[in-house]
Structure 1
Amino acid sequence: MSVFTGLDVHKEYHHATVMDEDGEILRQRRFPNSLEGIKSFFSDIKGGEVALEASQFWEPVYDELEEMDFEAKLAHPRKTRVIADEKIKTDVRASEALAQLLRMDWLPEAYVPPANIRGLRELLRRRVSLVESRTKYKNKIQAELTKRRIKLDGTPWHGPWLKQLQELGIEPVEDYMVIIRSLNDRIGKIEREIKERAEETKEAMLIRSITGFNYFSAMTVYASIGEIDRFPGPKQLSSYFGVIPSTEQSGGRKKHGPITKEGDRYVRRVLIQCAWSHVSNSDSYITGFFERLKRRKGNSVAIVATARKLTEAIYWMLERGEKFRPGG
């Protein structure tokens, strides 16, 4: 007899519902979020499918279930509307809804990247987190200078400017600089690793052949895509990155609005930054597209459309295994 388990995953605990082929609930229980808790709950369940919703804590649970020979499936949180629309939103009802969707073969699944892509994503996220921390302490130093009405000559955080800063002898600034130097060391180490991995990754090097992309941005886009074969075409990839216009249709008339902003907002920001860099440093067909559009629509609309154009180019480059061709 096949069994279907819905697992509502939380930081401290899980709620699970086990259901048979007829929809009868065989077990409902809350248990700790630990390997021991999972093994204890599933100890007398022999195989079957387990659905869990994509959340901050899904990865270790997913891996543990696979190691125990369960067929783990990751539910797409935005598409699993039945959970969000429950009139009584409880963890038990959420796990029950997941089990029902699984049993009826209606579960909208999210993409589960291979282990190497998941590891790369974690490395990239760590770099972003460290850079954000460094920016915070740099801002604190700038605030100390502003408070004291101190203006330094030169470009901030470079050569003479840094030398002047170090000569001031301001205690809070010295404390923050110790942290910044430590962060610089860790960020540098991660960036060297990203560069080494990028040079060994064909897909990342293809993306990097586009003017405006460096090792980090190329790896960020590659890690988000994972396997290009999961996208039927460039439109689906653009939709995944949230750079397509939203559409409203009423009475046979279609109206386009702002971009959908689906997907990872950080990757979308990287794409737009790369689009700006591209149109500033290249005379490619994509730059020509931007220049024509900005005259009619303005910079902000044109650059988002250019990011979409870059996304389409990336799709075909990865699909065909070809470097970027500036002439189109």
Structure 2
Amino acid sequence: MKYSGIDLHSNNAVVAVIDDQDRVLYCKRLANDLSSIIAVLAPFHEDLQGVVVESTYNWYWLVDGLMAAGFAVHLANTSAIKQYEGLKYAGDERDAVFLAHIFRLGLLPEGYIYPSEERGLRDLARKRMQLVQQSTLNTLSIENILARQLNLRLNAQQVRHLDSTAVNALCLPPHTECALMANLTVLRTLQAQIHAIETVLHRTVKLRPEFAILKTAPGIGDTLATTIMLETGTISRFASVGHFSSYCRCVESKRISNGKKKGEGNAKNGNKYLSWAFIEAAAIAMRSCPQAKRFYERKRARRMPVLAMKALAHKLARAAFYMLRDGKPFEVKKCFG
């Protein structure tokens, strides 16, 4: 039996292969070239139990390529892996061997390998969020310029309706007008691209049953349903509703020893996009669903408002899990009692 670990970097990867006695059979730094890495692993293919790839920002090409070549690939959840802190020396070669070692022991914390055929659509939804953030930054920049120069207060909707004629009528200093027009031009481009992406996303997901089911929940519209559905992927990958809620960052993070709180765990471990989606859904549901508002008010009476909002988001996340798992629409009574 043989096991492989790959410590992946931006322009190179350290490939290690060990046997069932932890003897290192191969360990070398290679350029990030798929054919070279496959050629190194090919002699071990028959006895290789699997290849562990470090979950870095650029793993797509390597994982997809190795899987296409017939290797059993496992994605290491790096945030959950911790080596012995007393090591006097640590390096990339040691990291690659360690990945293979914990895989051999059956102790590897694994990340989810999102199906390649769906990954592009999920990343497109993430690109939309990135463009929306940039659009907000440019909108705020325009609002700040007008408030600073003219003591003029405009909201985001009014900013989006500005044109060159309206800007010229403001009689701003030439350099200031140039800066404002630069923001406005970028804002128009971003809005056009956001609309184009939303059209593609909606056309692709609108016929999926999960999309229609999620939209029955209060606070969840087209955008949030798309985000939740694509970021969740296959709901069966979560063993329980607690695992899903934790992945959505909707559960408390703390360390307990002898009945006392000794600190907090990794509060950011999970999916930041799902965390955002359920917080947004909670904020909207609080205004549109009387039962959700009563739940929020009850929690706020005993806790801070931000914790009450988080509790409502947790409720919606749990409901979404059961809706996706059972294929049934939202039921207010089951969620809020």
Provide the residue aligned with 2:120 in structure 1. Answer: 119
Distance 1:93 1:12, change over 3 A: same
Distance 1:149 1:88, change over 3 A: farther
Distance 1:302 1:273, change over 3 A: same
Contact 1:243–1:259 under 8 Å retained in 2: no
SS class of match (2:15): strand
Tell whether 2:304 aligns with 1:298.
yes
Residues 60-112 of structure 1: CA deviation (Å, up to 9, x unaligned):
11001011111111111122223887553311111010111122222221121
Contact 1:198–1:215 under 8 Å retained in 2: no
Provide the residue aligned with 1:158 in structure 2. Answer: 158
- Candidates 160, 178, 187, aligned match of 1:171: 178
Report the CA distance between 1:251 and its aligned residue. Answer: 3.0
Contact 2:19–2:25 under 8 Å retained in 1: yes
Distance 1:18 1:159, change over 3 A: closer
Report the CA distance between 1:206 and its aligned residue. Answer: 1.1
Provide the residue aligned with 1:185 in structure 2. Answer: 192
Distance 1:159 1:5, change over 3 A: closer
Counterpart CA distance in 2 for 1:41 and 1:202 is 44
Q: What amino acid maps onto 2:157 in structure 1? A: W
Contact 1:16–1:95 under 8 Å retained in 2: yes
Q: What amino acid maps onto 1:108 in structure 2? A: P
Q: What amino acid maps onto 2:59 in structure 1? A: W
Report the CA distance between 1:178 and its aligned residue. Answer: 2.0
Provide the residue aligned with 1:108 in structure 2. Answer: 109
SS class of match (2:7): strand
Counterpart CA distance in 2 for 1:203 and 1:166 is 49
Q: What amino acid maps onto 1:313 in structure 2? A: A
Q: What amino acid maps onto 2:33 in structure 1? A: S
Provide the residue aligned with 1:8 in structure 2. Answer: 7
Distance 1:178 1:187, change over 3 A: same
Report the CA distance between 1:253 and its aligned residue. Answer: 6.0
Counterpart CA distance in 2 for 1:309 and 1:113 is 26
Q: What amino acid maps onto 2:158 in structure 1? A: H
Distance 1:24 1:256, change over 3 A: closer
Once the two structures are superposed, the pairs formed by residues 161-240 of structure 1 within 5 Å of their partners are 162-163=162-163, 164-165=166-167, 167-168=169-170, 170-240=177-247
Provide the residue aligned with 1:264 in structure 2. Answer: 271
Deviating more after overlay: 261-270 vs 71-80: 261-270
Distance 1:214 1:42, change over 3 A: same
SS class of match (2:89): coil
Residues 251-271 of structure 1: CA deviation (Å, up to 9, x unaligned):
356799899443122321221
SS class of match (1:179): helix
Structure 1-normalised TM-score? 0.89
Counterpart CA distance in 1 for 2:64 and 2:160 is 51
Residue correspondences, number: 325
Unaligned runs of 5+ in 2: 172-176
Report the CA distance between 1:244 and its aligned residue. Answer: 1.2
Provide the residue aligned with 1:323 in structure 2. Answer: 329
Deviating more after overlay: 140-149 vs 125-134: 140-149
Report the CA distance between 1:212 and its aligned residue. Answer: 1.0
Report the CA distance between 1:46 and its aligned residue. Answer: 2.6
Distance 1:95 1:289, change over 3 A: same
Distance 1:146 1:263, change over 3 A: same
Q: What amino acid maps onto 1:114 in structure 2? A: P
SS class of match (2:226): helix
Provide the residue aligned with 2:293 in structure 1. Answer: 287
Q: Percent identity?
A: 26
Contact 1:23–1:100 under 8 Å retained in 2: yes
Distance 1:253 1:25, change over 3 A: closer
Q: What amino acid maps onto 2:332 in structure 1? A: P
Q: What amino acid maps onto 1:262 in structure 2? A: N
Counterpart CA distance in 2 for 1:100 and 1:258 is 25
Contact 1:245–1:258 under 8 Å retained in 2: no
Provide the residue aligned with 1:42 in structure 2. Answer: 41
Q: What amino acid maps onto 2:290 in structure 1? A: D
Contact 1:244–1:259 under 8 Å retained in 2: no
Report the CA distance between 1:138 and its aligned residue. Answer: 2.3
Provide the residue aligned with 2:18 in structure 1. Answer: 19
Aligned CA RMSD, in angstroms, stands at 2.6
